[in-house]
Amino acid sequence: MCNNDFSFCLQAFCDAMVDKFSSIDMKSTSTKTVLELKGELRLICCSIDTWDMWVKFFDAHSSATLINPDTEKRYNIVDKDAQAPDLVREFFRHLQGLTESELKRCAVHCLGETGGRTIPYPKIYIKKPKHKAGTYSIKQWCDHRKLKTAAMRELDALVPQFKIIQEDGDIDWHNWRAFKFAYNINGASMRHLVREHEAHLKLKGNKRAKKTETDPQEKEQYLAFLERKKNFVHSGTSRFCVVTCGVGDRLTFTKWDGELSRQEVRVDRRGCLFALLDFRRLPGSGSSRHGDKDHPFYNPFMAKFMDYKSPAMREPHVWLWIVEQDYQAEVTELYEKTIKFEYDIFISTYVPAKTEGIVEINEARGNKQVGAVSLLFLTYNKVRDGRPPIKAHTTFKKVYTIPSPPPKDLFQETLFTVYPDMELRLEFYVSLLQSLVISGETVFNVCGGSKFMYAAMVRRPDPF
Protein backbone atom coordinates (compact mmCIF):
# COMPACT_ATOMS: atom_id res chain seq x y z
CA MET A 1 0.00 0.00 0.00
CA CYS A 2 1.40 3.38 -0.95
CA ASN A 3 1.64 6.30 1.44
CA ASN A 4 -1.27 8.10 -0.25
CA ASP A 5 -3.53 5.06 0.22
CA PHE A 6 -2.45 4.79 3.86
CA SER A 7 -3.20 8.47 4.49
CA PHE A 8 -6.58 8.12 2.81
CA CYS A 9 -7.50 5.05 4.92
CA LEU A 10 -6.42 6.77 8.15
CA GLN A 11 -8.48 9.85 7.31
CA ALA A 12 -11.46 7.69 6.41
CA PHE A 13 -11.08 5.86 9.73
CA CYS A 14 -10.96 9.13 11.67
CA ASP A 15 -13.97 10.51 9.77
CA ALA A 16 -15.94 7.35 10.53
CA MET A 17 -15.14 7.53 14.23
CA VAL A 18 -16.01 11.21 14.43
CA ASP A 19 -19.32 10.53 12.76
CA LYS A 20 -20.09 7.49 14.95
CA PHE A 21 -19.37 9.04 18.33
CA SER A 22 -20.78 12.45 17.49
CA SER A 23 -24.18 10.82 17.07
CA ILE A 24 -24.03 9.61 20.66
CA ASP A 25 -23.97 13.14 22.03
CA MET A 26 -27.65 14.05 22.36
CA LYS A 27 -26.87 17.52 23.69
CA SER A 28 -24.97 18.79 20.68
CA THR A 29 -25.58 18.83 16.93
CA SER A 30 -22.09 19.98 15.96
CA THR A 31 -19.56 17.48 14.65
CA LYS A 32 -16.48 17.04 16.82
CA THR A 33 -12.91 17.13 15.61
CA VAL A 34 -10.49 14.25 16.10
CA LEU A 35 -8.73 16.08 18.95
CA GLU A 36 -12.05 16.40 20.79
CA LEU A 37 -12.63 12.65 20.60
CA LYS A 38 -9.50 11.32 22.32
CA GLY A 39 -11.54 9.26 24.75
CA GLU A 40 -13.63 7.71 22.01
CA LEU A 41 -10.58 7.05 19.84
CA ARG A 42 -8.87 5.40 22.81
CA LEU A 43 -11.85 3.10 23.06
CA ILE A 44 -12.12 2.22 19.39
CA CYS A 45 -8.40 1.43 19.19
CA CYS A 46 -8.49 -1.07 22.06
CA SER A 47 -8.08 -4.85 21.76
CA ILE A 48 -10.80 -7.09 20.38
CA ASP A 49 -11.68 -8.51 23.84
CA THR A 50 -12.03 -5.04 25.35
CA TRP A 51 -14.06 -3.75 22.41
CA ASP A 52 -16.40 -6.75 22.61
CA MET A 53 -17.09 -5.90 26.25
CA TRP A 54 -17.92 -2.30 25.32
CA VAL A 55 -20.16 -3.48 22.47
CA LYS A 56 -21.99 -5.59 25.05
CA PHE A 57 -22.45 -2.44 27.14
CA PHE A 58 -23.70 -0.45 24.13
CA ASP A 59 -26.21 -3.19 23.30
CA ALA A 60 -27.43 -3.32 26.92
CA HIS A 61 -27.80 0.47 26.89
CA SER A 62 -29.73 0.47 23.60
CA SER A 63 -32.11 -2.26 24.83
CA ALA A 64 -32.48 -0.63 28.29
CA THR A 65 -31.40 -3.86 30.01
CA LEU A 66 -28.88 -2.05 32.22
CA ILE A 67 -29.66 -1.97 35.94
CA ASN A 68 -31.14 1.23 37.33
CA PRO A 69 -29.29 1.88 40.64
CA ASP A 70 -32.31 3.64 42.14
CA THR A 71 -34.75 0.76 41.57
CA GLU A 72 -32.12 -2.03 41.41
CA LYS A 73 -34.02 -3.38 38.40
CA ARG A 74 -33.52 -3.13 34.65
CA TYR A 75 -34.69 0.11 33.11
CA ASN A 76 -37.21 -1.73 30.90
CA ILE A 77 -38.56 -4.04 33.59
CA VAL A 78 -41.51 -1.77 34.50
CA ASP A 79 -42.04 0.00 31.22
CA LYS A 80 -41.10 -1.88 28.05
CA ASP A 81 -40.66 1.42 26.24
CA ALA A 82 -38.36 2.88 28.90
CA GLN A 83 -34.86 3.92 27.88
CA ALA A 84 -31.58 4.13 29.75
CA PRO A 85 -30.17 7.66 30.34
CA ASP A 86 -28.50 9.23 27.30
CA LEU A 87 -24.82 8.57 26.68
CA VAL A 88 -23.22 11.95 26.07
CA ARG A 89 -19.74 12.63 24.76
CA GLU A 90 -18.45 13.56 28.22
CA PHE A 91 -19.04 9.95 29.29
CA PHE A 92 -16.16 8.81 27.05
CA ARG A 93 -13.83 11.77 27.53
CA HIS A 94 -12.27 10.33 30.69
CA LEU A 95 -11.26 7.02 29.09
CA GLN A 96 -8.02 8.44 27.70
CA GLY A 97 -5.11 7.55 29.92
CA LEU A 98 -6.49 4.17 31.03
CA THR A 99 -4.47 1.04 30.42
CA GLU A 100 -5.91 -1.74 28.29
CA SER A 101 -7.00 -3.84 31.25
CA GLU A 102 -8.49 -0.80 33.00
CA LEU A 103 -10.49 0.06 29.90
CA LYS A 104 -11.98 -3.42 29.92
CA ARG A 105 -12.68 -3.22 33.65
CA CYS A 106 -14.51 0.03 33.08
CA ALA A 107 -16.93 -1.69 30.70
CA VAL A 108 -17.39 -4.55 33.17
CA HIS A 109 -18.27 -2.09 35.93
CA CYS A 110 -20.69 -0.22 33.67
CA LEU A 111 -22.45 -3.48 32.84
CA GLY A 112 -22.73 -4.47 36.48
CA GLU A 113 -20.65 -7.61 36.02
CA THR A 114 -17.94 -6.77 38.57
CA GLY A 115 -16.47 -10.00 39.95
CA GLY A 116 -17.30 -10.68 43.60
CA ARG A 117 -19.71 -7.75 43.82
CA THR A 118 -22.91 -8.74 45.62
CA ILE A 119 -24.61 -5.34 45.35
CA PRO A 120 -27.42 -5.55 42.75
CA TYR A 121 -26.49 -2.44 40.76
CA PRO A 122 -23.49 -1.35 38.63
CA LYS A 123 -20.36 0.18 40.11
CA ILE A 124 -20.29 2.93 37.44
CA TYR A 125 -23.52 4.75 36.74
CA ILE A 126 -24.73 6.82 33.78
CA LYS A 127 -27.12 8.95 35.82
CA LYS A 128 -26.36 9.77 39.45
CA PRO A 129 -28.56 7.69 41.80
CA LYS A 130 -29.90 8.69 45.21
CA HIS A 131 -27.95 7.45 48.25
CA LYS A 132 -26.36 4.34 46.76
CA ALA A 133 -23.07 3.25 48.30
CA GLY A 134 -20.39 1.77 46.07
CA THR A 135 -21.33 3.77 42.96
CA TYR A 136 -19.19 6.19 40.96
CA SER A 137 -19.56 8.41 37.94
CA ILE A 138 -17.33 7.56 34.99
CA LYS A 139 -15.20 10.61 35.84
CA GLN A 140 -14.81 9.64 39.50
CA TRP A 141 -13.85 6.08 38.64
CA CYS A 142 -11.42 6.95 35.83
CA ASP A 143 -9.73 9.76 37.75
CA HIS A 144 -9.24 7.55 40.81
CA ARG A 145 -8.18 4.60 38.67
CA LYS A 146 -5.43 6.65 36.98
CA LEU A 147 -4.13 7.95 40.32
CA LYS A 148 -4.28 4.46 41.82
CA THR A 149 -2.29 3.04 38.90
CA ALA A 150 0.30 5.77 39.35
CA ALA A 151 0.57 4.81 43.03
CA MET A 152 0.90 1.16 42.04
CA ARG A 153 3.84 2.09 39.82
CA GLU A 154 5.49 3.82 42.77
CA LEU A 155 5.00 0.69 44.89
CA ASP A 156 6.32 -1.50 42.05
CA ALA A 157 9.57 0.46 42.12
CA LEU A 158 9.93 -0.27 45.85
CA VAL A 159 9.07 -3.99 45.67
CA PRO A 160 10.23 -5.00 42.16
CA GLN A 161 10.24 -8.69 43.08
CA PHE A 162 6.45 -8.76 42.78
CA LYS A 163 6.51 -7.43 39.17
CA ILE A 164 3.24 -5.52 39.59
CA ILE A 165 3.68 -3.56 36.36
CA GLN A 166 4.26 -5.33 33.06
CA GLU A 167 6.72 -4.21 30.39
CA ASP A 168 3.94 -2.55 28.39
CA GLY A 169 2.99 -0.45 31.43
CA ASP A 170 -0.22 -2.36 32.19
CA ILE A 171 -0.95 -4.07 35.50
CA ASP A 172 -0.26 -7.73 36.16
CA TRP A 173 -3.40 -8.43 38.21
CA HIS A 174 -2.24 -11.84 39.42
CA ASN A 175 0.97 -10.37 40.83
CA TRP A 176 -0.95 -7.40 42.25
CA ARG A 177 -3.24 -9.74 44.21
CA ALA A 178 -0.21 -11.61 45.54
CA PHE A 179 1.35 -8.31 46.62
CA LYS A 180 -1.85 -7.18 48.37
CA PHE A 181 -2.05 -10.46 50.26
CA ALA A 182 1.59 -10.26 51.36
CA TYR A 183 1.22 -6.68 52.62
CA ASN A 184 -2.37 -6.81 53.98
CA ILE A 185 -3.54 -4.14 51.52
CA ASN A 186 -7.17 -3.64 50.55
CA GLY A 187 -9.25 -1.09 48.67
CA ALA A 188 -9.57 1.22 51.67
CA SER A 189 -5.78 1.19 52.11
CA MET A 190 -5.20 2.23 48.51
CA ARG A 191 -7.87 4.95 48.64
CA HIS A 192 -6.15 6.46 51.67
CA LEU A 193 -2.73 6.19 50.01
CA VAL A 194 -4.02 7.93 46.87
CA ARG A 195 -5.57 10.76 48.91
CA GLU A 196 -2.33 11.23 50.85
CA HIS A 197 -0.21 11.50 47.68
CA GLU A 198 -2.82 12.96 45.33
CA ALA A 199 -0.92 16.14 44.44
CA HIS A 200 2.27 14.22 43.63
CA LEU A 201 0.41 11.57 41.62
CA LYS A 202 -1.44 14.19 39.58
CA LEU A 203 1.88 15.85 38.78
CA LYS A 204 3.25 12.51 37.63
CA GLY A 205 0.29 12.10 35.27
CA ASN A 206 0.56 15.60 33.81
CA LYS A 207 2.13 15.24 30.38
CA ARG A 208 3.21 18.87 30.37
CA ALA A 209 5.00 18.65 33.70
CA LYS A 210 8.72 17.91 33.76
CA LYS A 211 9.36 14.26 34.62
CA THR A 212 11.40 13.88 37.79
CA GLU A 213 12.34 11.13 40.20
CA THR A 214 10.11 10.51 43.20
CA ASP A 215 10.88 12.96 45.99
CA PRO A 216 12.87 11.30 48.83
CA GLN A 217 10.23 12.38 51.35
CA GLU A 218 7.47 10.87 49.21
CA LYS A 219 9.48 7.67 48.93
CA GLU A 220 9.86 7.48 52.72
CA GLN A 221 6.10 7.84 53.09
CA TYR A 222 5.51 4.95 50.69
CA LEU A 223 8.01 2.82 52.61
CA ALA A 224 6.30 3.71 55.88
CA PHE A 225 2.96 2.71 54.35
CA LEU A 226 4.35 -0.68 53.29
CA GLU A 227 5.92 -1.32 56.69
CA ARG A 228 2.75 -0.38 58.55
CA LYS A 229 0.56 -2.56 56.36
CA LYS A 230 2.89 -5.56 56.46
CA ASN A 231 3.00 -5.44 60.27
CA PHE A 232 -0.77 -5.08 60.56
CA VAL A 233 -2.44 -7.87 62.55
CA HIS A 234 -5.85 -8.69 63.93
CA SER A 235 -5.95 -9.53 67.60
CA GLY A 236 -8.18 -11.73 69.69
CA THR A 237 -11.07 -13.98 68.79
CA SER A 238 -14.62 -13.10 67.90
CA ARG A 239 -17.46 -15.36 69.00
CA PHE A 240 -21.15 -15.16 68.27
CA CYS A 241 -24.36 -15.94 70.11
CA VAL A 242 -27.36 -16.25 67.81
CA VAL A 243 -30.77 -15.03 68.96
CA THR A 244 -33.79 -16.54 67.20
CA CYS A 245 -37.28 -15.09 67.25
CA GLY A 246 -40.14 -17.56 67.06
CA VAL A 247 -43.94 -17.42 67.20
CA GLY A 248 -45.30 -14.67 69.39
CA ASP A 249 -41.90 -12.98 69.72
CA ARG A 250 -40.57 -15.98 71.60
CA LEU A 251 -36.80 -15.50 71.81
CA THR A 252 -34.12 -18.16 72.14
CA PHE A 253 -30.44 -17.52 72.93
CA THR A 254 -28.11 -20.18 71.52
CA LYS A 255 -24.72 -21.17 72.89
CA TRP A 256 -21.68 -19.15 71.82
CA ASP A 257 -20.56 -20.34 68.38
CA GLY A 258 -23.30 -22.95 68.74
CA GLU A 259 -21.43 -25.06 71.30
CA LEU A 260 -19.62 -22.99 73.93
CA SER A 261 -21.08 -22.07 77.28
CA ARG A 262 -21.00 -18.61 78.83
CA GLN A 263 -17.97 -19.48 80.97
CA GLU A 264 -15.97 -20.91 78.06
CA VAL A 265 -15.94 -17.67 76.08
CA ARG A 266 -14.37 -15.66 78.91
CA VAL A 267 -10.82 -14.46 78.24
CA ASP A 268 -10.40 -11.89 81.01
CA ARG A 269 -11.25 -13.26 84.45
CA ARG A 270 -11.92 -9.74 85.65
CA GLY A 271 -14.95 -9.64 83.41
CA CYS A 272 -15.85 -7.33 80.57
CA LEU A 273 -14.46 -3.81 80.45
CA PHE A 274 -16.81 -2.44 77.78
CA ALA A 275 -20.12 -3.53 76.28
CA LEU A 276 -22.29 -1.93 73.60
CA LEU A 277 -26.06 -2.45 73.41
CA ASP A 278 -28.02 -0.94 70.51
CA PHE A 279 -31.74 -0.73 71.37
CA ARG A 280 -32.67 0.19 67.79
CA ARG A 281 -32.29 -3.39 66.51
CA LEU A 282 -33.47 -5.56 69.40
CA PRO A 283 -35.02 -8.86 68.28
CA GLY A 284 -38.63 -9.15 69.33
CA SER A 285 -39.19 -5.42 69.69
CA GLY A 286 -41.21 -5.24 66.47
CA SER A 287 -41.00 -2.72 63.65
CA SER A 288 -43.67 -0.43 65.11
CA ARG A 289 -41.80 -0.08 68.43
CA HIS A 290 -45.11 0.44 70.22
CA GLY A 291 -45.27 -0.16 73.95
CA ASP A 292 -46.58 1.26 77.18
CA LYS A 293 -45.25 2.01 80.64
CA ASP A 294 -45.85 -1.53 81.86
CA HIS A 295 -44.66 -3.20 78.64
CA PRO A 296 -41.89 -1.11 76.99
CA PHE A 297 -40.66 -2.08 73.54
CA TYR A 298 -37.45 -3.68 74.85
CA ASN A 299 -39.15 -6.06 77.31
CA PRO A 300 -39.16 -9.27 75.20
CA PHE A 301 -35.43 -9.08 74.52
CA MET A 302 -34.17 -7.62 77.79
CA ALA A 303 -36.05 -10.17 79.90
CA LYS A 304 -34.27 -13.01 78.09
CA PHE A 305 -30.97 -11.12 77.98
CA MET A 306 -30.86 -10.51 81.72
CA ASP A 307 -31.75 -14.15 82.34
CA TYR A 308 -29.01 -15.32 79.95
CA LYS A 309 -26.35 -13.26 81.82
CA SER A 310 -23.75 -13.14 79.07
CA PRO A 311 -22.78 -10.49 79.85
CA ALA A 312 -24.59 -9.92 83.13
CA MET A 313 -26.04 -6.46 83.61
CA ARG A 314 -23.46 -5.56 86.26
CA GLU A 315 -20.50 -7.22 84.56
CA PRO A 316 -19.21 -4.51 82.15
CA HIS A 317 -17.13 -1.74 83.64
CA VAL A 318 -18.67 0.61 81.04
CA TRP A 319 -21.93 0.22 79.14
CA LEU A 320 -22.90 2.15 76.01
CA TRP A 321 -26.62 2.06 75.28
CA ILE A 322 -27.66 3.48 71.90
CA VAL A 323 -31.27 4.50 71.34
CA GLU A 324 -33.39 6.89 69.28
CA GLN A 325 -34.02 10.17 71.04
CA ASP A 326 -37.77 9.46 71.06
CA TYR A 327 -37.17 6.38 73.25
CA GLN A 328 -34.47 7.81 75.52
CA ALA A 329 -36.86 8.19 78.47
CA GLU A 330 -37.95 4.52 78.29
CA VAL A 331 -34.37 3.26 78.22
CA THR A 332 -33.34 5.62 81.02
CA GLU A 333 -36.13 4.10 83.09
CA LEU A 334 -34.64 0.65 82.50
CA TYR A 335 -31.33 1.94 83.88
CA GLU A 336 -33.07 3.34 86.96
CA LYS A 337 -34.85 0.06 87.64
CA THR A 338 -31.81 -2.19 87.26
CA ILE A 339 -28.30 -0.76 87.79
CA LYS A 340 -28.80 2.82 88.95
CA PHE A 341 -27.00 2.37 92.27
CA GLU A 342 -23.88 0.72 90.79
CA TYR A 343 -23.54 2.83 87.63
CA ASP A 344 -23.43 6.55 86.93
CA ILE A 345 -25.08 7.80 83.75
CA PHE A 346 -23.70 10.27 81.19
CA ILE A 347 -25.92 11.12 78.20
CA SER A 348 -24.46 12.26 74.88
CA THR A 349 -25.91 13.01 71.46
CA TYR A 350 -24.62 11.50 68.22
CA VAL A 351 -25.33 13.58 65.11
CA PRO A 352 -24.98 11.59 61.87
CA ALA A 353 -23.34 13.22 58.87
CA LYS A 354 -25.47 13.72 55.76
CA THR A 355 -23.15 11.41 53.81
CA GLU A 356 -23.28 8.67 56.44
CA GLY A 357 -26.14 6.59 55.08
CA ILE A 358 -28.51 6.60 58.05
CA VAL A 359 -32.08 6.54 56.72
CA GLU A 360 -33.37 9.55 58.62
CA ILE A 361 -30.51 11.73 57.36
CA ASN A 362 -31.15 10.69 53.77
CA GLU A 363 -34.73 11.89 54.12
CA ALA A 364 -33.93 14.98 56.16
CA ARG A 365 -33.60 17.45 53.25
CA GLY A 366 -30.78 19.32 54.92
CA ASN A 367 -31.91 19.23 58.56
CA LYS A 368 -28.75 18.12 60.36
CA GLN A 369 -30.53 17.23 63.60
CA VAL A 370 -32.87 14.69 62.02
CA GLY A 371 -31.67 11.18 62.80
CA ALA A 372 -29.64 12.13 65.88
CA VAL A 373 -29.46 9.34 68.46
CA SER A 374 -28.88 9.29 72.20
CA LEU A 375 -25.80 7.67 73.73
CA LEU A 376 -26.16 6.54 77.34
CA PHE A 377 -22.75 5.87 78.89
CA LEU A 378 -23.11 3.89 82.12
CA THR A 379 -19.91 3.74 84.19
CA TYR A 380 -19.34 1.54 87.25
CA ASN A 381 -18.92 3.94 90.17
CA LYS A 382 -16.48 2.00 92.36
CA VAL A 383 -13.05 0.40 92.10
CA ARG A 384 -13.49 -3.18 90.92
CA ASP A 385 -10.82 -5.78 90.10
CA GLY A 386 -8.19 -3.06 90.11
CA ARG A 387 -10.10 -0.87 87.68
CA PRO A 388 -10.88 2.65 88.92
CA PRO A 389 -14.15 4.33 87.88
CA ILE A 390 -14.16 5.99 84.48
CA LYS A 391 -14.49 9.78 84.60
CA ALA A 392 -17.26 10.23 82.07
CA HIS A 393 -17.05 14.01 81.71
CA THR A 394 -13.40 13.81 80.60
CA THR A 395 -13.67 10.56 78.62
CA PHE A 396 -16.82 11.13 76.57
CA LYS A 397 -18.19 14.08 74.61
CA LYS A 398 -21.57 15.72 75.03
CA VAL A 399 -22.03 15.79 71.26
CA TYR A 400 -20.39 13.49 68.71
CA THR A 401 -20.30 15.06 65.27
CA ILE A 402 -17.84 15.84 62.48
CA PRO A 403 -17.10 19.19 60.80
CA SER A 404 -19.02 20.22 57.72
CA PRO A 405 -18.72 19.36 54.91
CA PRO A 406 -18.46 15.65 55.78
CA PRO A 407 -16.27 13.36 53.66
CA LYS A 408 -18.07 12.18 50.53
CA ASP A 409 -16.67 8.66 50.84
CA LEU A 410 -18.08 8.25 54.36
CA PHE A 411 -21.14 6.70 52.74
CA GLN A 412 -18.96 3.85 51.43
CA GLU A 413 -18.71 2.50 54.99
CA THR A 414 -22.24 1.18 54.59
CA LEU A 415 -20.89 -1.53 52.27
CA PHE A 416 -19.31 -3.24 55.27
CA THR A 417 -22.23 -3.11 57.69
CA VAL A 418 -24.93 -5.51 58.79
CA TYR A 419 -27.33 -2.61 59.38
CA PRO A 420 -26.39 0.12 56.85
CA ASP A 421 -29.14 2.45 58.03
CA MET A 422 -28.24 2.14 61.73
CA GLU A 423 -24.52 1.69 62.39
CA LEU A 424 -22.51 4.72 63.42
CA ARG A 425 -19.19 5.97 62.04
CA LEU A 426 -16.29 3.55 62.29
CA GLU A 427 -14.13 6.40 63.59
CA PHE A 428 -16.56 6.74 66.54
CA TYR A 429 -16.23 3.08 67.53
CA VAL A 430 -12.44 3.16 67.16
CA SER A 431 -12.10 6.28 69.32
CA LEU A 432 -14.18 4.70 72.10
CA LEU A 433 -12.14 1.52 72.13
CA GLN A 434 -8.87 3.45 72.12
CA SER A 435 -9.96 5.44 75.17
CA LEU A 436 -11.36 2.51 77.17
CA VAL A 437 -9.63 -0.79 76.45
CA ILE A 438 -6.24 -2.31 75.69
CA SER A 439 -5.28 -5.34 73.62
CA GLY A 440 -6.47 -8.62 75.12
CA GLU A 441 -9.43 -7.29 77.07
CA THR A 442 -12.96 -8.54 76.51
CA VAL A 443 -15.69 -6.41 74.91
CA PHE A 444 -19.29 -7.31 74.06
CA ASN A 445 -21.38 -6.17 71.12
CA VAL A 446 -25.13 -6.67 71.59
CA CYS A 447 -27.12 -6.04 68.39
CA GLY A 448 -24.62 -3.35 67.38
CA GLY A 449 -23.75 -4.52 63.86
CA SER A 450 -20.39 -5.28 62.25
CA LYS A 451 -18.43 -2.00 62.33
CA PHE A 452 -17.85 -2.29 66.07
CA MET A 453 -16.49 -5.82 65.56
CA TYR A 454 -14.05 -4.63 62.88
CA ALA A 455 -12.80 -1.90 65.21
CA ALA A 456 -12.43 -4.31 68.13
CA MET A 457 -10.44 -6.85 66.12
CA VAL A 458 -7.69 -4.39 65.14
CA ARG A 459 -4.83 -4.49 67.59
CA ARG A 460 -3.52 -1.08 66.59
CA PRO A 461 -6.28 1.00 64.98
CA ASP A 462 -4.95 3.52 62.49
CA PRO A 463 -6.25 5.37 59.39
CA PHE A 464 -5.22 2.56 57.06
Q: Which H helix or E strand runs over 67?
A: strand 67-68
Task: Please list, in sequence order, all residues whose beta carbon lies within 8 angstroms of the beta carbon of residue 308, skipping any fewer than 6 positions away.
Answer: 253, 262
Look up residue 43 and give its DSSP letter: H
DSSP string, 398-418: SEE--PSSPPGGGGGGGGG-S
pLDDT for res 229: 86
| Alpha-carbon distances of 127 from 51, 82, 130, 138, rounded to whole Å | 23, 15, 10, 10
| Alpha-carbon distances of 371 from 247, 367, 380, rounded to whole Å | 31, 9, 29
Distance in angstroms (rounded) separating the CA atoms of residues 400 and 191 = 25
Q: How many Cβ atoms are within 10 Å of 406's Cβ, its own excluded?
A: 16
CATH of range 241-457; options 3.40.190, 3.40.50, 1.10.287, 3.30.70 = 3.40.50
Q: Where are the alpha helices (DSSP H) in 63-137?
A: 90-93, 100-111
Residue closest to 410 by CA, chosen among 356, 464, 455: 356
355-367 burial, b if ≥16 CB within 10 A, otherwise e?
bbbbeebbeeeee
Question: pLDDT tens per residue, the chain (464 residues)?
Answer: 455 554 445 566 566 555 555 545 545 545 555 556 677 777 778 888 998 899 899 889 988 899 988 888 888 887 777 888 888 777 888 888 899 999 999 999 999 999 888 788 899 988 888 767 778 889 989 999 999 999 999 999 999 999 999 998 899 999 999 999 999 888 878 888 888 888 888 887 665 555 556 678 888 888 988 988 888 766 667 778 888 877 666 788 888 776 766 656 555 555 688 999 999 888 877 655 655 667 888 988 998 899 888 888 998 999 999 999 989 999 999 999 999 999 999 999 998 887 776 654 444 444 444 578 999 999 999 998 788 999 999 999 999 988 877 776 676 777 777 777 788 988 899 899 989 988 778 889 999 988 888 888 765 444 33
pLDDT for res 366: 44
For 455, phi and psi rounded to 5 degrees? -65, -40
Type of residue at 109: H
Q: What is the largest CA-CA distance in the chain?
A: 97
pLDDT for res 198: 87
The residue ranges of every structural domain in the chain are 12-136, 140-230, 241-457
pTM > 0.85: yes or no: no
pLDDT for res 308: 85
Q: Which H helix or E strand runs over 348?
A: strand 343-350
Q: How many Cβ atoms are within 10 Å of 217's Cβ, its own excluded?
A: 8
N-terminal to C-terminal alpha carbon distance within the chain: 57
